[in-house]
Amino acid sequence: MSATPAPPRRAAVPARRRSAGRTRQARAAWLLSIPFLLLFLVFTAWPVFQSVFLAFTDATRRDLRSPFAVDFVGLENFAQALADERFRKAAANTFYFVLVGLPLTLVVALAAAVALNKGIGRLRSFFRLGFYAPVITSIVAVAVVWRFLLHPDYGLVNEVLSWVGITGPNWLGSTTWAMPSLIAMAVWRNFGTAMIIFLAGLQGVPASLQEAAALDGANAWQRFWSITVPQLRPTILFISVTTMIGYLQFFEEPFVMTDGGGPLSSTLSASLFTYEEFSFGNYGYASAISYLIFVVIAAVTVLQFRLLRERD
Amino acid sequence: MSTRRTRLVVALGLAAALSLTACGRSDTPEGTGETDAEEFSSDDLQGEIEMWAMGAEGEKLPALADAFMADNPGTTVNITAIPWDAAYDKFANAITAGTTPDVAMIGSTWSGDFAGQGALEPLPESFDTSGFFEGAVGTTMVDDVAYGVPWYVETRMVYYRTDIAEAAGYPEVPTDWEGFQEMAVAMQGQPDVEWGINLQPGGEGSWQQVLPLAWSAGAETDDAEGFHFDSPEVLSAVEYFQSFFTDGISDPNPPEGQTEADFTSGRIPMFISGPWMMSLVEDLGGEGFAELYDVAPIPSPDGSTSHSFVGGANLGVFTTSENRDLAWSWVQYLSDPATQVEWYGQTSDLPAIQSAWDDPALSDDPKLAAFGVQLETALAPASYPSWTQVSAAFDGEMEKIAKAGADPASSLAAVQETADELGTGQG
């Protein structure tokens, strides 16, 4: 516990007394950490433990009253999930969402940040607020507006398209367009956070490096790729990891926009599938899927750290 | 990360240890509940009870409770309004925790679940349910024991534009499948009409439109074992349902929330829905629109008996009630014909007891009377706990039928697989 270096005098203290003092100190430490430990055990460790336990059992809603009187089924829940056509569809949808949505968010956020950092002078704070506003707006309110915008007959999007002679689709009702619509909404909703962090990152890129490169004849584009982006590497890593963790668990967009799975389950996400199974009361199965999602997130995060870590 | 991983490893170890030692289901299924009805006394009522009710009912019940309390001095009926969205979970949690109210409004598909957990009292013998709509009474039955009494009902009928139908040469709606479809085609041929009929192309709750067709074809979709969708009757109904989409009579990708507007504008002059739609289309259509539409029964293959879907809610008393005399007396008051007519006036909830329909408030409206006739033969799926999940599977397959041209036989086989796997859900 004590962080101060032990004074040399202490070496002279007899061993017995020293150990007694340590014991007393240790006892006090334990005593003082009991409130935290209790809270941790009851509200953090126990739920994790119980959900892991559930994942290996056939527990359902009806077992709530005696949660341990259930049968242990081994890996059956996991096998069932991997064989479940609907879960595979949900997993594929989730990867689609992440693979398209994550790069798009990064590109849009970086572009906005660079523009705010360099181009737009006077209106900077106005645009910064404008781009960040979707992040702090309630998704429910946002969903109402987006559903209205995307309405096939009266929506603004199709109205604008009709000016140039294009008949827009029923965005949220089409198996092809429902997911891109949700991705567009998610990018719009989330790039603000990334943009703010990129802005901070851009401030940290030394101006001297840029100047030196400019003196050596590098144009703006070359400076961006050879100076700015490498300098932003830690920022990119941070943003891509946090955004990806969020996107792998995407749930709100389909929940509010397409009432769940959308047309022919084309917007069913893995988290939404878990939610459905929980609401059916299949606690064992749903817990197993939650852990599958957890494992995937952990694996992809490790991969990202590998790919984007600092190179010497 | 690392702390989370360590935690996971520790938890996995604990789970493995525990699974080896502690648990396992007991051989006897627990909580099948009482099946013997106990009588109640409505003399000398006093004390306090708590009732939960959802939606508009929860908001309007206090007025009835006041009237009841005025008739029975010394009693208190507390009404707690709970939102529909959260209702099922709230009940499920309350049953687990033993904190259920005395009386509650119970969704018509929930009885099996709650009674299966031993949470509901069987209906005392002094209640005579013969006067209620048969289909509605069916939603209170679990293994031939009634666990409550129907409170209000609703059923689904075909709404159609009389003016457009007449112009298309159909003063009457054919009651057989073939004639009905021909009528939809004929109406689609009228000017400004885009689709013949608005059918829900699968998705949540679409079984409420498809199963009535199957029942009208003579299908029995449930028995003591669970649900059955592999019969030729269900198949014929699903094929009929699909033909509306493959023949271009119904829109497989309708924009949402347009049913009323499309009906009043005549763009889609038919749809299937419940009695609440009457006021919605009349409000939207403006003055005189009530003369421009009517309701007709769900068609059957040969025009014989039509079976629609009966929905609504029941009243039940929980086993945890400490004042069951008052609880059942309150339920008795609510299901009395006179109260039911009064309640209709306050909420437009249709009475579950048939004699209340003789009141001029209901019998004078021909459309309402038509709903009354349809209710006499209306059915509901068995209230097994597995129904939520089975119906979700059914709705998902119906979406493939309507939008993706899936094969009805293989779709129904897929639903049946889910149904067989889950059984009644009471095991």
Cite the beta strand spans of B186-255 per DSSP E.
Answer: 222-223, 226-227
Chain A: which residues have CB within 8 Å of chain B? 44-45, 48-49, 52-53, 56-57, 61-62, 64-66, 68-72, 86, 151-153, 170, 173-175, 259-261, 263-265, 276, 279-282, 298, 301
CA distances from B9 to B3, B15, B31, B218, B348 (A): 10, 10, 35, 56, 58
| Residue B105: predicted pLDDT | 95
**Average pLDDT for A288-306:** 92
Supply angle C-alpha B271, B276, B277, rounded to 5: 35
| Residue A3: predicted pLDDT | 47
- Chain B residues inside the 8 Å CB shell of A153: 255, 258
Q: What is the pLDDT of residues A68-111, one digit of tens each?
A: 788 899 899 999 999 999 999 999 999 999 999 999 999 999 99
Task: List the single residue in A56, A64, A301 with the smallest CB-CB distance to B15.
Answer: A56
Task: Name every residue whose Cβ is closer than 8 Å to that of residue B283 and which is 6 or more positions away in sequence.
Answer: none
Q: What is the pLDDT of residues A190-200, one digit of tens each?
A: 999 999 999 99
Query: Contact A297/A249 with Cβ under 8 angstroms?
Result: yes
The partner residues of B159 in beta bridges, in order of sequence, read B271, B295
**Cα distance between residue A276 and residue A279, in whole Å:** 5
CB contact, 8 Å: B23 with chain A?
A: yes
Closest-CA distance, A213 to chain B, in angstroms, reads 39
* Closest A-chain CA to B397: A264
The partner residues of B120 in beta bridges, in order of sequence, read B318
| Residue B426: predicted pLDDT | 72
User: DSSP per residue over A35-90, as a string?
Assistant: HHHHHHIIIIIHHHHHHHHHHTB---GGGTTSTTSS-B-TTHHHHHHHH-HHHHHH
**Cα distance between residue A280 and residue A289, in whole Å:** 14
Do residue A264 and residue B255 have CB atoms under 8 angstroms apart? no
Comparing CA positions, the residue from B284, B304, B300 lying closest to residue B292 is B284
**Cα distance between residue A299 and residue B203, in whole Å:** 34
**Cα distance between residue A52 and residue A89, in whole Å:** 24
pTM for this one? 0.82
| Residue A42: predicted pLDDT | 93
Average pLDDT, chain A: 87
**Cα distance between residue B147 and residue B120, in whole Å:** 6
**Cα distance between residue B344 and residue B361, in whole Å:** 9
pLDDT greater than 50 at residue A1: no
Closest-CA distance, A218 to chain B, in angstroms, reads 41
Per-residue pLDDT of chain B (427 residues; tens, 9 = 90+): 444 555 554 544 444 444 444 456 664 444 445 567 788 888 888 899 999 999 888 999 999 999 999 999 999 999 999 988 788 889 988 988 889 999 999 988 888 888 888 899 999 988 888 999 999 999 998 888 899 999 999 999 999 999 999 999 999 999 999 999 999 999 999 999 999 999 999 988 899 999 999 999 999 999 888 999 999 999 999 999 999 999 999 999 888 788 999 999 999 999 999 998 998 999 999 999 999 999 999 999 999 889 999 999 999 999 999 999 999 999 999 999 999 999 998 888 999 999 999 999 888 999 999 999 999 999 999 888 888 889 999 999 999 999 999 999 999 999 999 999 888 877 5
This complex has an ipTM of: 0.76
| Residue B427: predicted pLDDT | 57
CA distances from A227 to A19, A119, A198, A233, A253 (A): 57, 18, 14, 10, 36
Domain A77-308 has CATH 1.10.3720.10: yes
Q: Is B378 helix (H, G, I), strand (E, B) or coil?
A: coil
| Residue B2: predicted pLDDT | 44
**Cα distance between residue A55 and residue B287, in whole Å:** 59
- Chain A residues inside the 8 Å CB shell of B12: 52
Of the pLDDT bands very low, low, confident and very high (cuts 50, 70, 90), residue A121 is low
Structure tokens at B243: 């033909």
Interface of B with A in 222-241 (CB under 8 A): none
Comparing CA positions, the residue from B339, B275, B351, B277 lying closest to residue B309 is B275
Do residue B1 and residue A298 have CB atoms under 8 angstroms apart? yes
Burial state string for B382-409 with b = 16 or more CB within 10 A and e = fewer than 16: bbbbbbbbbbbbbbbbbbbbbbeebebe
Structural domain boundaries in chain A: 8-55, 77-308
| Residue B64: predicted pLDDT | 93
Comparing CA positions, the residue from B263, B269, B270 lying closest to residue B286 is B263
Instruction: Please report the domains of chain B, with CATH numbers, ordered by start residue.
Output: 47-155+310-377 (3.40.190.10), 157-306+383-422 (3.40.190.10)
* Cα atoms in the 13 Å half-sphere on the side-chain side of A241: 18
| Residue B260: predicted pLDDT | 92
Query: Contact B27/A70 with Cβ under 8 angstroms?
Result: no
Q: What is the pLDDT of residues A140-175, one digit of tens each?
A: 899 889 998 998 888 899 999 999 988 888 898 888
